[in-house]
Structure 1
Amino acid sequence: MPWPIVTVPQGGLPVTEATNGFGTPVIEAENGFGTAVTFVETGGLPVVGGASGELRYIAPTAQGSGDGTSWANAAALTSINTMIAEAGPGGTVAIASHLGDYAQTAPITLSAAGAAGNRVLITGMDGDGNPAQAKIVGNRTAWVAPVSEPVVPLDTSGYGGNTSFSAAAGISYLDFKNLRFERLGRIIDWSGIAATGFLFEDCEGFNVRDGFYTSITSAVTNLTLRRVTGEGFSKKFVRFHGDCSGWTIEDFSFDSRWQDKDNFAVGIECQHNAHGLIVRRGSAGNAHSTLTTYFNGDGMSSERTNYDILVEDATFYGCTDGGLDLKSERTIVRRVTANGNKRNFRVWGGVIDNQNYGGPILLEDCVSIAPHGRGGGSTHHAWLKGNDLTANGGSVSLSGFIASGGDVGIAALAIEGQNGTMAFTAPDIILSAGSVMHNTLEAGSIITGISGDPMAPAQFTAGQWTLASNNISGQLVANVIERPGDGGSVITSLQYRIDGGAWVTMAGTGTGPRVITSLTDGVEYDVELRAGNAIGFGVTGDLKSATPIYVAPVIVRLAFNGSALNPGDTPVDTAAGAPAMTLQGTAAVVAGGIQFGGLANHIVFPNREGFTFDGLFTVKMRLTKANWNSSAEQFLVAFWNTSGNQRAWMISINAVNAIVGRFCPGAGGSANIVDTVANGSLPAPITAGMHELMMDRGADGYTRIYLDGVMVGKSAAPVVGTNVNNTTNIVRVSGSTTGNADPGPSILHFLEVRKGEALCGSDAGYTP
């Protein structure tokens, strides 16, 4: 629902101007929490390069004497450092725009400098002395900018590229204008040096790995990028790293154009101890990084050690992670639009434990449009990190926040972790269909200034459920792995529909599989899910398609039927090629079966291979038992590993006369056992005489235990995994666990074990 908009005066916060003693204006903004945030303003410096020094000329190839004193004697680009030194403070180095492109494949070191108040101007210039763009081209792999996002991500991780200019210690007070840089690794590299006083104005970068590069040991101060564009970058177009400070980036456009898999693209990246940055009047976006299952890629990002950052009147768009991803402190974001990023505004700062803490991060009059999820993680208009390695979480104050659109089913607002605070003043949030206002909040995290009224549940997303054939004619199985957000009211109904037809209510509201019946084999069906609560139903979820089909299983089978046995006969397994059974202790053939009793007197079916039970299975037996009501648990059918003697039992009778089906999803042994749950239909005590017991796992994944055709137990949830061992198994029929609890004589009349088929697989049971 929309919320009223309160008009905030332009700029929001009181602003004063002062001087820093060097003629550089300083902006101080009160952040509303009693802390002054200071930004050094470099963009307003007058450009004096070319006013009083010498004029030197550069051409694609050296002309005449090559001393740079005229167009006729222009120097080569490789001599630019000498030309800067000869032009001197206040001088100009003219780079010819009218004589062709500059092919440059090796770094050019710059060490010559201007002086404070007498900068050197390096500019593109035509033959008439007018400013005109000169083009420098490196050796990065050629690339054509796509007009729209590629269906298949373009891997530019190996494109490489040389550095154009490598800055040496002492370089300072240089102005670069009217230059275009193409196919480069780096436009300029200030790694490991301290320098001050740079201007890049009316410059372009095209198909670069990095644009403006600083490292952890850089200390570049008082730098301005004005009317600089970047089209196509795979790493970072601007690195504000190390101990850099006093930078201004204005009237900019940095568009990665979906260069991908270079781990990872960011338009403007702040790192290390860099501080004092103004970013205004521009845009950055389309930064993609699909290298891992979680897609990175931000329009602009900062780290916890960065501080004093102002971003205003800018747009960040189309990134696979954050539009703005801010971990910094003392940060103000003013009149910024984020559009189509996974998380439009992603805030980690405002942590009181941080040494640079200056109160919550401020977002003033910002606009969030249509966040769009890609590559893992949730999708939100505004996201805040709660405690992360600290007891206190982040905090953000949002005044005049406007949000609308986005993927259906998203949570508009989210705090991940504990002790985080989002404080809204006069928001106007129009939710996407099926969305919720915010996700579930962890301990100590709060969102203030918005309504907590419940809504309909969120949309089912693709990863929250599956649809598949269960190899039963005319059936599909919809398995709910995770339910969508409940909208603030308990989910009371889950429904499905087929091919856009009528909605059908499913059994229960929890997770787990639901069988869809009455379908036609070989026909593909489109299925959708939705959830409902007291408010209503959420928007239709992700559509999935599947085709019911039945393929006869390949059955690995053990079968024994002793009804035709007479005393003195040799019992055999009816499975083709099976060896004779082994009778242990006093176990012996009697009329109609094999008599056994207790631990020592049991029956072994040797060398059973293939019973890993990774799908449907059945264990079925018929026996006359001497003592149905013993004081200790008796394992009737068990599987033994020949090497480790580990067992996993399938059918037993416990000390309280309950028939139990057990299933070990691991590699064997007694661990990880899933018991069936008695359903109340078990007779107590079990009557004396012959009984038929069966355990199976049906197509729905549940294990069931049956007594004389009636289901008497069922697992609490679908059972996954394999059983019993991954090697040859001994199948054993016994009467006890650790002693002769069954005095005997008990008689085994029938035993069958099948892998790949459930003879019943239903709560309804079967006819013995």
Structure 2
Amino acid sequence: MANSLFAADYHVLPKSAGLADGSSWENAAAGSREVVGGFIENMQPGDAILFGSGVYDSFAMRIGQSGSEGNRLSFRGVDTGDGLPLMKSSFVKENPSKGSTFITIDSGASHLEFDGFRVNNYKGVVYSRGLNVDLAFSNFTVHDCRIGIFLEGGGLNEGAENNSHDIEITDSKFIGFTKSAVRLQNGNYNVKVENVFADAGGKEYSNDPFHMAFFVPGEYRKKGNSPADDHHITFINCEARNSYQDKGSKYWNGDGFVTESGTHHITYLNCRAYDHTDGGWDLKSSDTVLENCVAIGSKRNVRIWGDAKLINCFIGYSKHRGGSGGASGLYLTGRASVVVENSTILNNDGHQICLEKTKKQSAGEAKVIVKNSIVGVTTPSDRSLARVDKGSELEKIDSLFFQTTELNPGFVDPVADWDGQGTNFNNLKFGKSKGYYQK
């Protein structure tokens, strides 16, 4: 939080009050682009603009100023009697290419914090132009947008210090979007995304190609430019639901957590993915870790193309909703290299584990090591334990693979619609020593 001894607070309401100079709630300034823009131009490190309760129609702000280390510029919603401020614009999901952006952050603007906004019907909630340092976004509740928070990192390979870093996105909800809730692109590092819920909205919001809730597209590079990679990004207690794409009979996309090639050191802790038409996780990054994560109900619950480690994860009940390509629990392709430890892969349609070569490969090259884990099917069905294409390798170390009731280790309360909370899939035979276990 801003802590300058001489910090100024500017008070804003949808309609002005009293002297309308922003000096207090009794003298609040009008929440127009022009008035707030004037305040922004005059802000000094430690200053804050406070937005009171009410509806702000088609409001937007652009920020080119910076705070300083320990003295951010602050933009905060305040409940002055009727809830947090509601920013409302005219975006409609049926025409997703049109609409405005609530907050635009210019290149180089740094040491900024944003807290406490309800945002409805904006094409974009936040867009940063890159080379931004120390940005914090918290307590956003967003309904109906194209992209929620979209951070361009700067796109320079001249050194890590020249790209955006030290960024936090926390305690927010994004409900109903046609592209993404959070998108980090072209050179962001030291990023934490924590306690963020993203429900894409399913088929009703499938009006753009590539529905992806949390998206880190490292190789989306403009012609003639070679931007730096996105790396050292941590997702904590985040949840992605209902990304959907049905474009005829061909492959259906629609993913929860996505990384593209070139990204690295991406970590997911206590995250959950549900009911996507493609991957709960679809990962091409290197040095990737999933720990205490749950994937349920997507076509390919966890899909990996790079190298990754899965620790104490539950992957279950994959579901094929349409398009080409079969369902599976853990799906590896290309040269993927994965270590699975103390995890459970259970009751997925198709294969529990699938190591599949790509069309460009004469033989597969994927490898998975499954250690102290449980892989199985609890009821008679056509579900298989594993598909391993020629040239790929599945190594089992102290793990149980079962497809008969005699070997079923038993689970506390196995249900396909599990919300990821509680001990439902703790196994009764091995406890903590083998398979997924939640305290």
TM-score (norm 2): 0.79
Task: Tell me the alpha carbon deviations over residues 120-154 of structure 1, each in whole angstroms, 9 at most, x when there is no partner.
Answer: 221111348xx95111011112x7xxxxxxxxxxx
3-state SS of the aligned residue for 1:80? helix
Q: How many residues align?
A: 372
Q: Which runs of 5+ in 2 are unaligned?
A: 156-162, 219-228, 358-363, 405-439
> Following the alignment from structure 1 to structure 2, what is the Cα–Cα distance between the partners of residues 322 and 91?
43
> Following the alignment from structure 1 to structure 2, what is the Cα–Cα distance between the partners of residues 454 and 86?
67
Question: Which of the numbers 171, 184, 195 marks the counterpart of 1:251?
Answer: 195
Q: Structure 2: which amino acid aligns with 1:436? A: S
1:158 shift after superposition: 4.1
Question: Which of the numbers 322, 325, 329 marks the counterpart of 1:377?
Answer: 325
3-state SS of the aligned residue for 2:38? helix
Task: Tell me the alpha carbon deviations over residues 24-52 of structure 1, each in whole angstroms, 9 at most, x when there is no partner.
Answer: xxxxxxxxxxxxxxxxxxxxxxx335764
Aligned residues: percent identity? 22
> Following the alignment from structure 2 to structure 1, what is the Cα–Cα distance between the partners of residues 401 and 128?
53
1:239 is the counterpart of 2:239: no
* Contact kept in structure 2, 1:84 and 1:113, CA below 8 Å: no
1:265 alignment partner in structure 2? 211
Task: Tell me the alpha carbon deviations over residues 424-477 of structure 1, each in whole angstroms, 9 at most, x when there is no partner.
Answer: 0022122262211112x3332011117899979xxxxxxxxxxxxxxxxxxxxx
2:76 alignment partner in structure 1? 123
* Contact kept in structure 2, 1:347 and 1:394, CA below 8 Å: yes
1:60 is the counterpart of 2:6: no
2:38 alignment partner in structure 1? 82
Instruction: Report matched runs for 1:634-653 at 5 Å.
Output: none
> Following the alignment from structure 1 to structure 2, what is the Cα–Cα distance between the partners of residues 249 and 281?
9
* Contact kept in structure 2, 1:51 and 1:91, CA below 8 Å: no
3-state SS of the aligned residue for 1:209? strand
Q: Structure 2: which amino acid aligns with 1:244? A: N
3-state SS of the aligned residue for 1:239? strand
1:728 alignment partner in structure 2? none
2:343 alignment partner in structure 1? 401
Question: Which of the numbers 264, 269, 290 marks the counterpart of 2:246?
Answer: 290
Change in CA separation of 1:244 and 1:66 when aligned onto 2, cut-off 3 Å: same
Q: Structure 2: which amino acid aligns with 1:56? A: Y
2:47 alignment partner in structure 1? 91
Q: Structure 1: which amino acid aligns with 2:338? A: V
Mean Cα deviation higher: 63-72 or 298-307: 63-72
Change in CA separation of 1:49 and 1:309 when aligned onto 2, cut-off 3 Å: farther
Instruction: Report matched runs for 1:557-636 at 5 Å.
Output: none
1:87 shift after superposition: 4.4
Mean Cα deviation higher: 257-266 or 70-79: 70-79
Change in CA separation of 1:66 and 1:405 when aligned onto 2, cut-off 3 Å: same
3-state SS of the aligned residue for 1:371? coil
Change in CA separation of 1:92 and 1:182 when aligned onto 2, cut-off 3 Å: same
1:324 shift after superposition: 0.7
Q: Structure 2: which amino acid aligns with 1:406? A: N
* Contact kept in structure 2, 1:288 and 1:296, CA below 8 Å: yes
2:409 alignment partner in structure 1? none
> Following the alignment from structure 1 to structure 2, what is the Cα–Cα distance between the partners of residues 84 and 158?
29
* Contact kept in structure 2, 1:326 and 1:347, CA below 8 Å: yes
Q: Which runs of 5+ in 1 are unaligned?
A: 1-46, 144-155, 351-360, 387-392, 457-768
Instruction: Report matched runs for 1:704-723 at 5 Å.
Output: none
1:275 alignment partner in structure 2? 231
> Following the alignment from structure 1 to structure 2, what is the Cα–Cα distance between the partners of residues 199 and 455?
48
> Following the alignment from structure 1 to structure 2, what is the Cα–Cα distance between the partners of residues 372 and 171?
44
Change in CA separation of 1:404 and 1:453 when aligned onto 2, cut-off 3 Å: closer
Instruction: Report matched runs for 1:436-447 at 5 Å.
Output: 436-439=384-387, 441-447=388-394
Tell which structure's C-alpha radius of gyration is larger: 1
3-state SS of the aligned residue for 1:70? coil
1:336 alignment partner in structure 2? 293
> Following the alignment from structure 2 to structure 1, what is the Cα–Cα distance between the partners of residues 394 and 190?
34
Q: Structure 1: which amino acid aligns with 2:137? A: F
> Following the alignment from structure 2 to structure 1, what is the Cα–Cα distance between the partners of residues 109 and 148?
18
* Contact kept in structure 2, 1:53 and 1:87, CA below 8 Å: no
1:69 alignment partner in structure 2? 23
Q: Structure 2: which amino acid aligns with 1:241? A: Q
> Following the alignment from structure 1 to structure 2, what is the Cα–Cα distance between the partners of residues 185 and 343?
29
Change in CA separation of 1:86 and 1:453 when aligned onto 2, cut-off 3 Å: closer
> Following the alignment from structure 1 to structure 2, what is the Cα–Cα distance between the partners of residues 453 and 59?
62
1:216 shift after superposition: 7.1
TM-score (norm 1): 0.46
1:198 shift after superposition: 1.1
Task: Tell me the alpha carbon deviations over residues 321-375 of structure 1, each in whole angstroms, 9 at most, x when there is no partner.
Answer: 100111000111101000101111101002xxxxxxxxxx100011012000122
* Contact kept in structure 2, 1:157 and 1:260, CA below 8 Å: no
